[in-house]
Amino acid sequence: MKERVEQSLERIRPALQADGGDVELVEVTEDGVVKVRLVGACRGCPMSQLTLANGVERVVKEDVPEVVRVEAV
């Protein structure tokens, strides 16, 4: 599942990088929780939670249905 999550993050990464940010995969737990770290301009951005929920989480769950949620660490 981790490889599929990585591929999914690659799909959204260009949009984040266009705004000076990026996302790093930290961990995929056995119970379907994906832990990511927002970096660059995304780190500390007031819109980062919206980006995480409406961007990263939506795409990852679409590509990897076993994912329960995506959370920032």
Percent of the chain exceeding pLDDT 90 equals: 71
pLDDT (0 to 100) of residue 65: 96
C-alpha 7/C-alpha 9 separation (Å) is 5
Q: What per-residue string of b and e applies to 52-67 under the rule 16 or more CB within 10 Å gives b? A: beebbbebbbeebeeb
Mean pLDDT of the chain: 92
Query: Structure tokens of 57?
Result: 């989480």
pLDDT (0 to 100) of residue 64: 97
Provide the whole-model pTM. 0.89
pLDDT tens, position by position, 20-54: 999 999 999 999 999 999 999 888 888 888 888 88
Q: Is the pLDDT of residue 17 over 90?
A: yes
- Full set of structural domains in the chain with CATH: 2-72 (3.30.300.130)
- Computed on alpha carbons and rounded to an integer, the radius of gyration of the chain in Å comes to 11
